[in-house]
Amino acid sequence: MSSLPPRRGAYGFDAPYAPLLMALGGACLLALSAWGLWRSEMNSTRRAISIFAPGVGALWLFLNAGIYVYTTRAGKFAVWAELLDQLELKGDERLLDIGCGRGAVLLLAAQRLPRGRAVGVDVWSTMDQSGNAEQVTRQNAALEGVAERVELHTADMRQLPFDDGSFDVVVSSLAIHNVSGAGERARALREAARVLKKGGKLAIADIRHTRAYASELEACGLKITDRRSLGVRFWYGAGPWAATRLVAAIKR
């Protein structure tokens, strides 16, 4: 697909407390800067610092909040549309989205599978995504016109309810890092590798631990085909340290 069609579903915010805290911190610093502006008992240098320093901090936090909101509402959709196109789907594949949430990636994939099946699993945590619930994802699938191609399961990614080699493609976006402990994340990755067919493709986008993901997948017999930053459209803050990174692989 050459362009991303308008999204009809409601996809909420990723970790909604994060931009709220950024904005709240910015507001507090802005108030501190304004307070410094009205203080007349300090000398000019101290007064200038008391105004300038918190003011700059406030602008920085507001910028981070703005970038975060852009990514969660628009940027990640554009990037994932490109990643799915790069998978060169034929349209009849069976695809699994691990930690599908409200369907941001799952339903983009379903649109590319007119003869296939897009399967999503999640534990439906509202801390990781606002308003996250299976019925919301089903409603989004209907709004996007792909309900008949979508299948949803409530399941822990560390114990997937599928047979070995059940899927042609496995994807995951911003989900695996939510599992606590390196050993438990490794279990989730081994499950992703287990349910993937030989010759099947895998693409994981996440904000942390991607080097460890690549190592674990290689240990499972997958060949890493790409590992990189996904660029400014997938930043969750004003800098590359807040970037989302890709791990792509093929099962040999």
Question: Has residue 39 got a pLDDT over 80?
Answer: no
pLDDT for res 7: 86
| Spatial CA neighbour of 203 closest among 67, 56, 92, 95 | 95
pLDDT for res 162: 98
**Residue 216 vs residues 33, 129, 219: alpha-carbon distances, Å:** 48, 26, 5
Q: How confident is the model at residue 2 (pLDDT cuts 50, 70, 90)?
A: very low
Question: Has residue 42 got a pLDDT over 70?
Answer: no
Cβ-based burial of 28 (10 A; exposed 0-12, middle 13-18, buried ≥19)? middle
Q: How confident is the model at residue 41 (pLDDT cuts 50, 70, 90)?
A: low
Q: Print burial letters for 196-226: b (CB count within 10 Å at least 16), e (below 16).
A: bbeebbbbbbbbebbeebbebbeebebeeee
Q: What is the pLDDT of residues 89-132, one digit of tens each?
A: 999 999 999 999 999 999 999 999 999 999 999 999 888 888 89
Close Cβ partners of 5 (under 8 Å, ≥ 6 residues apart): 111
**Which residue type is seen at 202?**
L
Q: What number of CA atoms fall less than 13 Å from residue 241's CA on the CB side? A: 2
**Distance between CA atoms of residues 203 and 27, nearest Å:** 38
pLDDT for res 248: 98
Q: What is the pLDDT of residues 4-37, one digit of tens each?
A: 778 889 999 998 899 999 999 999 999 998 887 7
Tokens of 201: 């493709």
Q: Which residues pair with 153 in a beta bridge?
A: 121
Q: What number of CA atoms fall less than 13 Å from residue 154's CA on the CB side? A: 7
Tokens of 128: 């990781």
Strand pairing class (222-229; 245-251):
antiparallel
